[in-house]
Structure 1
Amino acid sequence: MRKKGRKLTNHLTYVLLTVNMMIWGLNTVAIKVLVEHFPPLTMQSMRIFFAGCLVSSILYLRREWKPMALRDWKWIFGAMIFGVVGHHSFLATGLSLTTATNGAIILALVPLTTTLLSFLLLKDRLTWLRSVGIALGFTGVALVVLNGGESLQQSATGDLYMFGAMFSQALSFIFIKKATDTLDAKQVTAVMFSIGSFCIFLLSLLLHPAEAGALADGSPGVWAILLSSAVIATGLGHMFYNSAIPRLGTGQTAIFINLTPFFALVGAVIFLGESMVWTQAAGFLFIVAGVFLGTGALDHKRPSIESGAWKSSRKGTDI
């Protein structure tokens, strides 16, 4: 009976993880809507601030805060600079200049880039199969970015920002892996969000001082999207993802992250009316194939070896 109950619990967790990935995918669409109504950096600072307040409050009520040593702060600072300030600043700015479709496809490179960085910085194993996967993935992005003269002129800068968002997030996984060796992932996330949101706000004041008060002009509907993105997708979404790891294991949980770009693409077509040309579809297929090869998802003969992307993904970083 106990084994049967555990099996049912796992099945429910699979369903809820799929729903969570759908929410994370649609969050890309939500941010695309928000940057059309709010200044990108100011909006991101508020969105991340609300998420940080939520996670911090839950940790405080559960009395799960742990004292942090100087070594912990070193890794958290790096994770905050790349995973919050860099990733979210590039993300919002990029989505203000390019389509959510292009953004979602470029962000699908995160697992492959993390694998490559883990090989370069952490000396993780990189087999020839994973090398082929990485090459396929970046070929796919080239197809997406170079999808036509008009699109190239209109969105090349936005695509470059999205590539910066993707690379920053992948690099932050290296620091998060180090920080969570001694701290709970939820506490790392709370500190990153709380301090990082303040840094983004200062950056927005420095670069666009006249836009600081623009949030007051948002309609109730747009504010509802912002709060939902902060609380549901960023705050609660990562809390649930973290809780699924001890139930399913690192590898099984991280596989679900590969569903996020798919839901983002579907959401962009349904809610934003964006279309997908054949080069974008081909590029997405190249990236999907590259992710399965490059992250070791097909490496059944060595199940104990996890890719850098999978190791990092279990830390519950932001999408």
Structure 2
Amino acid sequence: MQNFRPYIILVFTMMIWGFNVPLIKILVSTFEPVTITSLRIFTASLVIFLILGFMGKVHLPKKTHWKYILGGGLFNVFFHHLFLGLGAAGTSAVHTGIILGLGPILTAIMSILFLKSGISFLRIFGFFIGTAGVLVTVLGGGSGLSGMALGDLYIFISIATQAFSFIIVSRAAREMDPLLLTGYMQLFGSLGIFLASLMMEPDGLASLQNGSLTALGVFLLSACGATAIGHLVYNNTITKIGPSESAIFLNLNTFFSIVGSAVLLNEPIYYYHWLGLFLIVPGVLMGSGALEDIIRKRARARKV
């Protein structure tokens, strides 16, 4: 049972992250999207530092670490969550969840471009399959290009910037605690988003008056549960399993976001949503290199 513990934890983490997509949709529909996003990430950073404080892991970073904190905060938090908030306000939660499912493929592309990772026919084929899945999702329903919302583009930019940030984070993790890095990135990234909200949404803070106890509960659940604890648990657990397993679990994130959108928001799920999902899942497995890792592991196991 001990061997299965990381996998069980990751299933629950993916469920929390998946259901967080409709929660974000509720928040950006109730408040100004950029303002509430900044407050959500800032609250998450405070929770992370509180937890790390109990663990005795809070300390000032070294001078050489600031480039990772600021770079990661810019792409992993500022751009990612800024466009995620804007995108969620302009498209459905179902579309958001499916497009976010491209994360592993985009991360693999970034690794090839910037880290000179290997590329194979299987990975190239996976890129095309995953891209086809997104196109089916956002262009489905017979409306073609005219039916693609600006929010869909924002969501794609959001996951693309996050994928690039993983290159920075993977390099930073060699020199500093990734959990502490997460806290600093979210803290400074949230401050950047808040400054942007003051320019983009002059009435952003005034929109907080639209809140209710239900909205407050959604905010705390999203900020403290999904964004803070979810990222800490993921960053701590993912080091215990290989890259192939991590890509598989990220697929569950997409699945749970679709289920959560239907359950919490009563959003309709059409056949082209499922078709897009069924294309993205194998696309991620192939494009991220997960399938090749599984094949290599089984080949080595047969030789032993």
Pick closer, same or farther for the CA change 1:80–1:128 going to 2, 3 Å. Answer: same
Residue 33 (structure 1) aligns with? 26
Residue 124 (structure 1) aligns with? 117
Question: How far apart, in 2, do the equivalents of 1:130 and 1:109 lie?
Answer: 13
Residue 258 (structure 1) aligns with? 251
Question: How far apart, in 2, do the equivalents of 1:291 and 1:249 lie?
Answer: 15
Question: How far apart, in 2, do the equivalents of 1:51 and 1:290 lie?
Answer: 32
The correspondence of residues 130-145 of structure 1 with structure 2, limited to 5 A, is 130-145=123-138
Question: How far apart, in 2, do the equivalents of 1:157 and 1:247 lie?
Answer: 38
Question: How far apart, in 1, do the equivalents of 2:229 and 2:205 lie?
Answer: 27
TM-score (norm 2): 0.92
Match of 2:8 among 3, 10, 15: 15
Question: How far apart, in 2, do the equivalents of 1:154 and 1:283 lie?
Answer: 16
Give 1:243 deviation, angstroms.
2.9
* RMSD value, Cα: 1.9
The correspondence of residues 207-246 of structure 1 with structure 2, limited to 5 A, is 207-246=200-239
Give 1:210 deviation, angstroms.
2.0
2:252 maps to amino acid: L
The correspondence of residues 304-315 of structure 1 with structure 2, limited to 5 A, is none
The percentage of counterpart residues that share the same residue type is 39
Give 1:246 deviation, angstroms.
4.7
Alpha carbons 1:23, 1:233 under 8 Å: kept: yes
4+ residue segments displaced more than 6 Å: none
1:302 maps to amino acid: R
Give 1:102 deviation, angstroms.
0.7
Give 1:254 deviation, angstroms.
4.9
Alpha carbons 1:34, 1:222 under 8 Å: kept: yes
Alpha carbons 1:106, 1:162 under 8 Å: kept: yes
SS in 2 for 1:102: helix
1:261 maps to amino acid: T
Alpha carbons 1:97, 1:155 under 8 Å: kept: no
2:265 maps to amino acid: L
Residue 62 (structure 1) aligns with? 55
Deviations 1:142-185 (A, max 9, x none): 11121135585465211011111111111111111111111111
Question: How far apart, in 2, do the equivalents of 1:153 and 1:132 lie?
Answer: 28
Alpha carbons 2:32, 2:204 under 8 Å: kept: yes
Q: Name the stretch that deviates more: 230-239 or 46-55.
A: 230-239
How many equivalent pairs are there? 297
TM-score (norm 1): 0.88
Residue 301 (structure 2) aligns with? none
Match of 1:92 among 85, 98, 116: 85
Structure 2, unmatched stretches of 5+, are: 299-304
2:124 maps to amino acid: S
Question: How far apart, in 2, do the equivalents of 1:79 and 1:130 lie?
Answer: 26
Residue 160 (structure 1) aligns with? 153
Question: How far apart, in 2, do the equivalents of 1:35 and 1:83 lie?
Answer: 19
Alignment of 1:302 with 2:296, yes or no, is yes
Residue 302 (structure 2) aligns with? none
Match of 1:200 among 185, 193, 206: 193
Question: How far apart, in 2, do the equivalents of 1:207 and 1:150 lie?
Answer: 31
1:48 maps to amino acid: I
Alpha carbons 1:22, 1:263 under 8 Å: kept: yes
Q: Name the stretch that deviates more: 178-187 or 254-263.
A: 254-263
Residue 288 (structure 1) aligns with? 281
Give 1:263 deviation, angstroms.
0.2
2:27 maps to amino acid: L
Give 1:303 deviation, angstroms.
4.2
